[in-house]
Chains A and B, each alone.
Chain A
Amino acid sequence: MHCGPLCQLLWLWPYLSYIQAVPIQKVQDDTKTLIKTIVTRINDISHTQLVPSKQRVTGLDFIPGLHPVLSLSKMDQTLAIYQQILTSLSSRSVIQIANDLENLRDLLHLLASSESCPLPRARGLETLESLGGVLEASLYSTEVVALSRLQGSLQDMLQQLDISPRC
């Protein structure tokens, strides 16, 4: 559908209205603080400490890997998948992290809006529902691997945010 600049303006409008009220510096600070908070939360979940970083777990390829995430849209996409996975795990501490991820994604959209680049709302994995069996049979593995990788991704993002990532 080609609706042109008007559509883009309408798409950005909710975020632009936020920016009017919230200084972008605060958004940036909150983004970094929230990332650190999530990293700390993952650290506090004791069993994630037990996974040796070099240990590979097979069969969980749907969890995003530790590739450097360079753009805001890619960050949003990655976080959307993590959010989807964590929500499906449904344990209290993990659900809290999933909520944090939603806030973090909103902040990324605000940052993108401040740079006038529309960031479409990323969707999670369409195939995740078909992986219900995998999740059910390997809840522990999924949680441990997902949290470990998420922690790494977040630390990457934290570094990227310091150097103003592209859209």
Chain B
Amino acid sequence: MISQKFFVVLLHWEFIYMATAFDMAYPVTPWKVKLSCIPPNTTYDFLFPTGISENSSSLNGHYEAVDEDKFNINTTYFSNLSSKTSSYCCFWSEQDKNCSIYANNTEGNASVSTVNASVFQQIGANWNIQCWMKGDLKLLICQMESLFNNTFKNYEFKAHLSYILSEDLEDSSLVSQIGSFQSVQCTCTVNECCECHIPVPTAKLSSTLLMHLEIASGGVIFQSPLISVQPINVVKPDPPLVLHVEITDSGELKISWSSPTLLPFQLQYQVKYSENSTTKVAETALATSLLVDNVLPGSLYEVQVRSKRLDGPGIWSDWSAPYIFTTQDVIYFPPKILTTVGSNVSFQCVYKNENKVVPAEKIVWWMNLAEKIPQSQYNVMSDHVSKVTLHNVNATIPRGKFTYNAVYCCNERECHHRYAELYVLDVNIKISCETDGYLSKMTCRWSTNTMPSLVGSTLQLRYRRRGLYCFNSPSIHPISEPKDCHLKSDGFYECVFQPIFLLSGYTMWIRINHALGSLDSPPACFTPESVVKPLPPSSVKAEITVNVGLLKISWEKPALPENDLQFQIRYGLSGKEVQWKIYEVYDAKSKSCSLAVSDLCAVYAAQVRCKRLDGLGYWSDWSDLAYTVVMDVKVPARGPEFWRRISEDPTKKQRNVTLLWKPLMKHDSLCSVRRYVVEHHTSPNGTWSEDVGNYTESTFPWTEQTHTVTVLAINSIGASSVNSNLTFSWAMGEVNIVQSLSAYTLNSSCAVLSWMLSPSHYNLMYLIIEWKNLNEDNEMKWIRIPSSVKKYYIHDQFIPIEKYEFSLYPVFVEGVGKPKIINSFTQDDIEKHENNAGLYVIVPIIISSSVLLLGTLLISHQRMKKLFWEDVPNPKNCSWAQGINFQKRTDIL
């Protein structure tokens, strides 16, 4: 409308300045027009027949209103631009074949006459003119083509086009603009066609382009009236690109394409497709795809698309290059399905067999060509479309390179070789997350080891953070973010969130992207504060407490998390392989614990770890190892057991007593002995002590009737509290309570002693056994045993051929009694015992063996006799055999 009004205004202007005889511009909204011109020297009186309007005035200002609509669509125009012009030209179209001609009369007035264009066609020069804007919106092309009835058709012609782009024609006169017209030379082919290219800046697409053509042919110059055109209204888009045809999952034929360039307006499309030579045309607005129902198997489809401006004037583009699409004899839709374990999937198919589409009810379905799918799972969707539904599908087990199940649509007993592919993945990927001890980083890990890989698929962790906490049952939110994860050497993917929102719920899942679609693993939700793995406790120390004698382990809790923590302590004797014992502390405020241990004098190793008291999160790593240091923890549990060796000095007539003891072991000394002290007590002299240092023997003269000694062990804590006494008494040396003593050797490393004691009114404390090898000059050995024991096994090296002496001393509170001494083992008893034992075993064996042997001999004898002499006649009973030497025959055999 704007352009139309513009031209009305223009027309007004033009008529006011009619003296210039300048013409109106022909609007090329119908983008095809015809140009007809009357050559010179042609009698054209007929141009002004009576009764045809000639009332256009020139200078008197009279102007006949022109119908606006008619002006733009139906009015025809003619050209008489300059004195050089020697022809009359006008535009007309197929819709309106009237050609209006303006002419100057002799008085200088202009007149207009309307002539049927067919007159021009008979006597004049005629051209088809087409103008359009190229799809790239940079070039306007005007094409001229000689009409068949062109009288100048046989002449070579040249053309050039003058144009001006103007945004507002009201402000300036056309006359003044004529001088500013630009001219382009048109490219012409011989007698046929000319093409003129006018560059149009993108910013001026909506401007008005005024132009006129000048055609020289046969020595005549034809000049067209002005043509006006808005480039944006005559855009001829490029043909659509990337034409594609496919069968949708619902069994429709989907024709899709894309627009070649971005245009400043929307497009409509026309789709021309032929199905087995039957052509159909469909139109779409805006959409760049079209769905066609009832796709047929074994058919050939040819498709073309063209486009045009949707709203407003425009020109259809050329048809795109044809796209050929052939459907197979069996069509599966969808042809491939990717799904998860436990889901239900459906395939549909259309099957053409020997040029005949198989009825749906005759279609049967097979899986992997091995197993017929039950008919209860079939559905007849239409006459020719069958559907099968597979319920609760299991994960596809890869068979070699085939990672899918092949689903076949068959015609009763005949299956086409084509199949649909079903990929079932177990996407139950477990994600685990762990927040570090600084509560600043959450690391999530997941692995696909349990899931067979699907070629061409990519995995991505996606997550969505919720302000606070997790929902009880997390779900996949449509809006989510991807997270970068890195594959580690252990096959796990690791994704790090840092910084974190401690109390926010991170719902995450793994998305498997594949050309067939995407699958999501079950979502999991983590709140970083609930998956904390704290730092291990620090400053861990282990010690055996002095006097108390417990293993005390102390630690410092980590600074974070601030939640209450529980602790786990493991401890054990230090060594190559520590046998750990576990102790748990549920008191969050505890910083140490004391544990009873069997050996206070050993080195213990201990470690501590912690976890939230409410059970959330993970155990920390174990702390660094802490070791106890062996040191005295208590006074020695007892003094050493000791015995004596008495030697007499005949010259001084005194006895020297040498006390002997074994060094205290750690578990008795708790844990070391610094020195030993011998306490002496005699009636006349009282009590005195002798420090013997670390020595384990001490000698003193025995001069009094009774002399009592005690040996104390001293460590850094103090002296042993429990000590044994030994009293030497002349009188007690005659007390004999040992009635008998026997010694036996069990083997070379053990001898057993047994004895009988008689009752006594003295207080027997314990017994001492002494033994020594009489053949060697070794030290005597001794051992203290409780008084209640009647038999004792001595573990030592005992050589049977050597002689040993055994002594048994009763030790009373009052003093050492008289010993029982034997010089050898009790041989008879041992042998007797052994013989008796052998007799009971060996005699039955001998008797049974003898009986068995005798029986065997008897049976063997009978068998041999039967074998060799059964068929041999007895020469004594047989006359013919008499005289024959059977011995000789036997030799031969």
Contact = CB atoms under 8 A, between A and B. Distances in A.
A21 B501 CA distance: 19
A95 B469 contact: no
A21 B467 CA distance: 14
A85 B381 CA distance: 65
Interface string B548-567: 00000000000111110000
Interface in A16-65: 18, 21-22, 30, 33-34, 36-37, 40-41, 43-44
Contacts of A103: 468, 501-504
A88 to B, nearest CB: 15
B569 interface: no
Nearest to B470: A21
B468 A96 contact: no
Interface in B458-495: 467-469, 471-472
A37 B503 contact: no
B436 to A, nearest CB: 11
A95 B503 CA distance: 15
Contacts of A30: 503, 529
Interface of A: 14, 18, 21-22, 30, 33-34, 36-37, 40-41, 43-44, 92-93, 95-96, 99-100, 102-103, 106-107, 110
Contact of B503 (A14, A93, A106): A106
Given A14-B467, A22-B468, A92-B440, 15 more contacts: A18-B468, A22-B469, A33-B561, A37-B439, A37-B561, A93-B440, A96-B499, A99-B501, A99-B502, A103-B468, A103-B501, A103-B504, A106-B503, A107-B503, A110-B468
Interface in B428-470: 439-440, 467-469
A40 B468 contact: no
A40 B562 contact: yes
Of A34, A41, A96, A107, most B-chain CB atoms within 10 Å: A96
Contacts of B471: 21
Contacts of B559: 40, 43-44
B500 interface: yes
A37 B502 CA distance: 10
21 contacts: A22-B469, A30-B503, A34-B503, A37-B502, A40-B559, A40-B560, A43-B559, A92-B498, A93-B440, A95-B499, A96-B440, A96-B499, A96-B500, A99-B501, A100-B501, A102-B501, A103-B468, A103-B502, A106-B503, A107-B468, A107-B503
Given A107-B468, A110-B468, A99 B499 contact: yes
A22 B469 CA distance: 8
The 4 tightest CB contacts between A and B, nearest first, are: A36-B562, A96-B499, A103-B503, A106-B468
Nearest to A102: B501
Contacts of A93: 440
Please indicate which of the listed interface residues B469, B501, B559, B563 has the most CB atoms of chain A within 10 Å of its own CB.
B469
A96 B503 CA distance: 12
Nearest to A94: B499
B469 A21 contact: yes
Contacts of B469: 18, 21-22
A99 B467 contact: no
B interface, how many residues as a size bin? Answer: 20 to 34
B563 A33 contact: yes
A40 B472 CA distance: 31
B534 to A, nearest CB: 12
B795 to A, nearest CB: 63
B495 to A, nearest CB: 18
Nearest to A96: B499
Contacts of A18: 468-469
A152 B458 CA distance: 49
Given A21-B471, A96-B440, A107-B468, A37 B562 contact: yes
Contact of B500 (A33, A36, A99, A107): A99
Contacts of A107: 468, 503
B501 A33 contact: no
A57 B551 CA distance: 52
- Interface centre among A14, A92, A103, by most chain B C-beta atoms within 10 angstroms, is A103
Contacts of B561: 33, 37
Contacts of B503: 30, 34, 103, 106-107
A14 B469 CA distance: 13
A27 B368 CA distance: 56
Nearest to B467: A106
A100 B502 contact: yes
B220 to A, nearest CB: 77
A8 to B, nearest CB: 19
Contacts of A95: 499
Contacts of B560: 37, 40-41
B468 A92 contact: no
Contacts of B472: 21
Residue in B439, B467, B529, B560 with the greatest tally of chain A CB atoms within 10 Å = B467
A40 B559 CA distance: 7
Interface string B518-559: 000000000001000000000000000000000000000001
Contacts of A41: 439, 560
B614 to A, nearest CB: 10
A103 B469 CA distance: 10
Contacts of B563: 33
A89 to B, nearest CB: 13
A36 B560 CA distance: 9
B137 to A, nearest CB: 43
A62 B349 CA distance: 72
Contacts of A22: 468-469
Contacts of B562: 33, 36-37, 40
Contacts of A40: 559-560, 562
A99 B502 CA distance: 8
A102 B502 CA distance: 10
Contacts of B501: 99-100, 102-103
Nearest to B563: A33
Contacts of B529: 30, 33
A44 B562 CA distance: 14
A107 B503 CA distance: 9
A41 B472 CA distance: 30
B792 to A, nearest CB: 67
A143 to B, nearest CB: 16
A48 to B, nearest CB: 15
A96 B562 CA distance: 16
A43 B561 CA distance: 14
A44 B502 CA distance: 17
A77 B47 CA distance: 92
B556 to A, nearest CB: 14
Contacts of B467: 14, 106
A64 B563 CA distance: 28
Nearest to A14: B467
Nearest to B558: A40
Contacts of A110: 468
A21 B471 CA distance: 8
B468 A34 contact: no
B412 to A, nearest CB: 58
Contacts of B500: 96, 99
A111 to B, nearest CB: 11
Contacts of A33: 529, 561-563
Contacts of A106: 467-468, 503
Nearest to A95: B499
A21 B505 CA distance: 13
A107 B724 CA distance: 73
A22 B503 CA distance: 12
A122 to B, nearest CB: 15
Contacts of A37: 439, 502, 560-562
A95 B439 CA distance: 13
Nearest to A97: B499
B669 to A, nearest CB: 48
B616 to A, nearest CB: 11
A161 B255 CA distance: 67
Nearest to B468: A106
B505 to A, nearest CB: 10
A55 B192 CA distance: 97
